[in-house]
Structure 1
Amino acid sequence: MTVHGEITSPPEIDPGLAAAALAVFAHRHEVVHLLYAAVDEPDALARIADLLHVDEATISRVLDQPLRWLLPQFRTELETIAADPEPLTTG
């Protein structure tokens, strides 16, 4: 993927991140309003996390992603990933 003229690896998308991205999309108008109303980044993250009932770290990860995630073809992929169960870890 090319970001600002630099070739980078696409981000790893886990089900939680995909679900949070879909929640941000579903509430995009409110999210943009909260971004404008915030005093700073931590305030924005707290406001959006409170609205969506998602932790601030995940909201930060969603906001770090390119806006192309919100295009229809990528939303379908996000829905598929979000529906996958979390991988089981043993240890």
Structure 2
Amino acid sequence: MVWDLRRALLRKEEFESGRLTDFEFRETVRTLKLLARAFEADETPVLDALIEHGFEAALHGFPEMLGEETREAASLRLRKEARRMLISERGDPTPYRLG
């Protein structure tokens, strides 16, 4: 019976990558929901744009009256808030160190 270190490390890499990708997606969705509330916009079209065309397209779903810089600044500020909320709910997403 031989233990395959390479296979074990690949399995761990796949697991950690999946876990971090899941957290990043949840953070993006939470950010867009917070932005929708801040701009008093409907969440559904914004989230549909995220799924179909990506984050930048979803940002363009917010009102133009505040300008591009304001959307970007609000996005960065609310992403920090979304990350803080997710960490309090789900724990810190950073991978555990070996050793």
Tell me the TM-score normalised to structure 1 length.
0.32
Higher alpha-carbon Rg: 2
Larger RCO (alpha carbons 8 Å, 6+ apart): 1
More helix by share: 2
Higher strand share: 1
